[in-house]
């Protein structure tokens, strides 16, 4: 979430508008909207979420150090 930071909101809005396929952007959502979305999400096992997080960070590392 952007915490109502105008620079973050504008940057994220421009990124969102430039995409062909519009999808959920949590940085444009209010805290309440993000909470409602989280409450409606499927129950995913913690281990699966942890694995997704590790994979995401491994793919997006900028320093290219091994984990």
pLDDT digits (tens, 9 = 90+) for 30-50: 889 889 988 888 888 999 999
What are the domain boundaries of the chain?
Answer: 6-59
- pLDDT band at residue 1, thresholds of 50, 70 and 90? low
pLDDT-derived band of residue 21, with 50, 70 and 90 as boundaries?
confident
pLDDT of 53:
93
pTM of the complete model beyond 0.75: no
CA-only gyration radius of the chain, Å: 15
Q: Please, what is the average pLDDT of the chain?
A: 84
């Amino acid at each position: 979430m952007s915490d109502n930071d105008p620079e973050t909101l504008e940057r994220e809005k421009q990124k969102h508008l430039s995409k062909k396929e519009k999808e959920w952007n949590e940085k444009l959502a209010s805290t309440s909207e993000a909470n409602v979305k989280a409450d409606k999400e499927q129950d995913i096992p913690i281990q699966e979420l942890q694995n997704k997080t590790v994979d995401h960070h491994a793919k997006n590392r900028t320093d290219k150090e091994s984990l």
